Amino acid sequence: MLLGSEGARIRRIHDITQPLDERTAVWPGDREVSMEWTMRRERGDSVNVAALCMSAHAGTHMDGPLHFEDGGATAADVPLEKLIGRARVIDARGRDALDVDLLEGIDAGAEERLLFRCFERVVPGRFPDPFPAVTPALAHACADAGVKLVATESPSVDTFDSKTLESHRLLQAGDVVILENVVLSDVPAGRYSLVALPLRLTDADSAPLRAVLLELEQS
């Protein structure tokens, strides 16, 4: 039996990562995902080798500070401990915006990592339009509470037409890591452990990642 933190058994693993392929929807105007084979056994090569070309923001990804702040930290500089540990999924379906009232009755700082379910079902091949963004009030509240990470099913924590990226900046000012395009379609609201590991891209603003929620059963 797999073991989680503090001796807890892992009852179930929820993969909350969008699949990546040439059908993956990207931010309008961003580079689409493309793949080609540089080696194929059917062509006489000894192995199959795929080559990928994609934006660092394709699919499920982490926004590094460099994404919206010149001189900000790169994807590789974000501490991994922010991306591993206690998490809570919050059901925010049907909302036009993710506002501070979603934290009512929740000790946000104790929960540490907050993941917002926004849609009935995420369709990776379709860009969600419209999508609910994190309001500055919610971003400020998360930062003030000491939240370590905020994740959303939306492709951005700010609105589609935002030029100032205020929610990005408020979260960063509070040292809150940002994940976007997570998939919570089959994950009930509640407590989990999150493991979300971005690629160690030393010069990139952001990074794609594989994210899972561990449903734990105390031993």
Gap between the Cα atoms of 196 and 25, Å rounded? 21
**How big, in percent rounded to 5, are the helix, strand and coil portions of the chain?**
20, 30, 50
Give the per-residue pLDDT at 1.
Answer: 35
Give the per-residue pLDDT at 2.
Answer: 45
Gap between the Cα atoms of 108 and 52, Å rounded? 38
> In this structure, which CATH number among 1.20.140.10, 3.50.30.50, 1.10.287.130, 3.40.5.50 belongs to the domain 5-16+58-217?
3.50.30.50
Q: How far apart are the first and last CA of the chain?
A: 11
Give the per-residue pLDDT at 23.
Answer: 97
Give the per-residue pLDDT at 167.
Answer: 98
- The per-residue pLDDT string of the chain (219 residues; one tens digit each, 9 = 90 and over) reads 344 555 678 999 999 999 999 999 999 999 999 999 999 999 999 999 999 999 999 999 999 999 999 999 999 999 999 999 999 999 999 999 999 999 999 999 999 999 999 999 999 999 999 999 999 999 999 999 999 999 999 999 999 999 999 999 999 999 999 999 999 999 999 999 999 999 999 999 999 999 999 999 865
Residue 67 is a catalytic residue: yes
Token output for 134? 């994190």
Residue of 14, 57, 61, 67 marked active site: 67
**Spatial CB neighbours of 198, under 8 Å, sequence gap ≥ 6:** 61, 62, 75, 78, 83, 206, 207, 208, 209
